[in-house]
Chains A and B, each alone.
Chain A
Amino acid sequence: MQCQICQKRTATIHLTEISEGVRTEMHICEQCAVEQGVAAHSQMSVNELLSHLLAVQPSDEEIFGPSEESVCPSCGFTLERLRKEGTLGCPLDYKVFEQALLPLIERAHGGKSNHCGKVPTKVPKDTKKFVELSQLRKQLEDAVRDEDYELAAKLRDKMKQFE
């Protein structure tokens, strides 16, 4: 995704502002962010990134309420441990802590949060269909970005068939 300000560099900072119920999004590169005073120039380590993002997130209690849900029922993991250790406790944590993890995931992956790569052969058909739709969505985005509207129309029709 290109920076909306300089239209040259890749956008690595993705800002979402919700003001009076109106949501606006901004995708900019780090240099323009620094120039606009939006972000400080930095090269964060993974751990710093995790700590920084989790620090500005609501606490486990704020998200889930003071209940047992702030602890993964499968492995007993908490977000506090992710802050300290930088890794999760079990695959189910992605579901249990999904809302808290999403901003971190999107930041780490250039604003993206849907898989559109390889799918194991053994997964159910619904899973394959879900990922294939994500792949088509990404191809459609790329086609629109490249102004290949003929391809975009074909992809849109293909997505309609899927849905």
Chain B
Amino acid sequence: MELTDLSHDINEWFSGTGPLADIVVSSRIRLARNLAGHRFLSNCSVEEKAEILEKLKSVLMSLNLGDEVFYISVDKESELTRNVLVERHLISRHHAMATGPRGAVIARRESFTAMINEEDHLRLQVLKAGCQLAACAEQIDRIDTMIEERVEYAFSPRFGYLTACPTNLGTAIRVSVMLHMPALKLTGQIEKFLGAAKDMNLAVRGLFGEGTEAASDLYQLSNQVSLGVNEKGVVSEFENVIIPEIVEYEKTARKQLLAKQSDTLDDKIARAMALLQNAHLISSQEALFLLSHLRLGLNMHEHMGASTPAIERLCALHDDSGRDENDRLSIRTINRLFMLTLPAHLQLNYGKSLDVTHRDALRAQIIRDALHQQS
């Protein structure tokens, strides 16, 4: 299995499907685990890291994970390959940039990844499209239980699963959802969302995790408290309290845009279409920013029945990906353009390293070709 088998398409979790998919792009749960009898990674020799890697790799590859899995030696891969894995959210930036023996076991459909020797010995993650946290929780718990039958985890009765950083202790669970919040941004209410998240003791991060900007109006919202709570409680609070409240903010802002600021909405969508259909050089940041407005227009049409002049023109665009049965531009195509025009994807799929100007030209060409006007 080669990474290029995956890099020409988007992964399932980014397919634009699933419950509440017009706002909740994806759901993710990760668990951090460490082996008993070993030091934490920052204090490990290369030999000890190699021993941990070998042990966990052999356990993971022997399990029936419900999907075909493949293994990538992250430390032996090129920077480009590592960046593609980061862009697909299969490994973290920390894992890509760390040193020493490390690897990742990845399910072919990319809904599951086990990062070995990230900040902790083992970081398991399950990703699904839309709001599917309960399904993520069930799957990750099953995999974790299978692993712990074969290894001994570092565990304390008082502090639970012991992690390299005390902020991850206890359940060592991180529940997160990726949210698309363009209307709150356009109506100048994004602070309302950030304030609500803070009041609920949640962390808000950008598209690629800690320290990254919220490109394309995508925000990752996750729990911060992992000790003194149980896994079901955290997931249930997200599904029953947090997500409904945040989703309602964005829905209200979309209704407000349509009712009171439809000129603003149309202007954003029309400008995004014009630039994306005609530009010959486009940066990754600009493409993400403009594609966000197309995603908003399509979702408002599909989920709210919105029909403005710009939305009508957007919905009339032809989609030649063969994925949409009506041959109309789909969210899947928008997401595909989004991921496949990220810098590392562009270069891996083109087959060689490209400088910024060549990348911007190739990106613009791919987007122009995909968004050509229906004849």
Binds B, one of A18-26, A83-91, A147-155: A83-91
* A89 in contact with B39 given A114-B158, A118-B141, A122-B152 (CB within 8 Å): yes
Give B17-36 interface residues, CB cut-off 8 Å to A. 34, 36
How many interface contacts (CB-CB < 8 Å) are there between A and B? 134
Does chain B have a CB within 8 A of A46?
A: yes
Q: How far does the Cβ of B290 sit from chain A's closest Cβ, in whole Å?
A: 29
- Complex contact A116–B229 (CB within 8 A): yes
Task: Tell me the bound Cα distance from A41 to B43 in angstroms.
Answer: 35
Of all chain B residues, which has the CB nearest A104?
Answer: B166
Of all chain A residues, which has the CB nearest B36?
Answer: A91
Determine which of A46, A119, A127 lies in contact with B167 in the assembled complex, contact meaning CB atoms within 8 Å: A46
Does chain B have a CB within 8 A of A77?
A: yes
Q: A120 contacts which chain B residues (CB < 8 A)?
A: 148, 152-153, 155
Q: A10 contacts which chain B residues (CB < 8 A)?
A: 199-201
Q: How far does the Cβ of B173 sit from chain A's closest Cβ, in whole Å?
A: 7
Q: B266 contacts which chain A residues (CB < 8 A)?
A: none
Q: A138 contacts which chain B residues (CB < 8 A)?
A: 228-230
Of all chain A residues, which has the CB nearest B171?
Answer: A117
- Complex contact A115–B167 (CB within 8 A): no
Identify which of A87, A110, A114, A122 gathers the most chain B CB atoms within 10 Å of its CB.
A87
Q: A118 contacts which chain B residues (CB < 8 A)?
A: 141, 144, 160-161, 171, 230-231
A positions within 8 Å CB-CB of B? 9-10, 12, 29-30, 43, 46, 49, 75-77, 85-91, 94-95, 101, 104-105, 108-123, 126-127, 130-131, 135, 138
Q: A135 contacts which chain B residues (CB < 8 A)?
A: 230
- Complex contact B170–A90 (CB within 8 A): no
Of all chain A residues, which has the CB nearest B227?
Answer: A109
- Complex contact B166–A105 (CB within 8 A): yes
- Complex contact A90–B149 (CB within 8 A): no
Of all chain B residues, which has the CB nearest A46?
Answer: B167
- Complex contact A123–B155 (CB within 8 A): yes
- Complex contact B164–A88 (CB within 8 A): yes
- Complex contact B170–A117 (CB within 8 A): yes
- Complex contact A75–B39 (CB within 8 A): yes
Identify which of A75, A88, A120 gathers the most chain B CB atoms within 10 Å of its CB.
A120
Identify which of A30, A123, A130 gathers the most chain B CB atoms within 10 Å of its CB.
A123
Of all chain B residues, which has the CB nearest A112?
Answer: B228
* A94 in contact with B230 given A87-B164, A109-B225, A121-B145 (CB within 8 Å): no
Does chain A have a CB within 8 A of B154?
A: yes
Q: A87 contacts which chain B residues (CB < 8 A)?
A: 40-42, 119, 164-165
Of all chain A residues, which has the CB nearest B164?
Answer: A87
Q: B149 contacts which chain A residues (CB < 8 A)?
A: 121-122
Query: Which 8 pairs between the two chains have the least Cβ-Cβ distance?
Result: A112-B228, A115-B160, A117-B171, A89-B43, A91-B154, A109-B227, A87-B164, A130-B157
- Complex contact A117–B160 (CB within 8 A): yes
* A131 in contact with B39 given A88-B166, A122-B148 (CB within 8 Å): no
Task: Tell me the bound Cα distance from A90 to B48 in angstroms.
Answer: 13
Task: Tell me the bound Cα distance from A137 to B43 in angstroms.
Answer: 36
Q: B157 contacts which chain A residues (CB < 8 A)?
A: 115, 123, 126-127, 130-131
Of all chain A residues, which has the CB nearest B43?
Answer: A89
Does chain A have a CB within 8 A of B162?
A: yes
Task: Tell me the bound Cα distance from A111 to B229 in angstroms.
Answer: 11
Q: B145 contacts which chain A residues (CB < 8 A)?
A: 121
* A88 in contact with B40 given A120-B153, A121-B148 (CB within 8 Å): yes
Task: Tell me the bound Cα distance from A29 to B38 in angstroms.
Answer: 39
CB 8 Å contact bits of B154-190 with A (1 = contact, 0 = none): 1111111110111101110100000000000000000
Does chain A have a CB within 8 A of B224?
A: yes
Task: Tell me the bound Cα distance from A130 to B157 in angstroms.
Answer: 6
Give B96-129 interface residues, CB cut-off 8 Å to A. 119
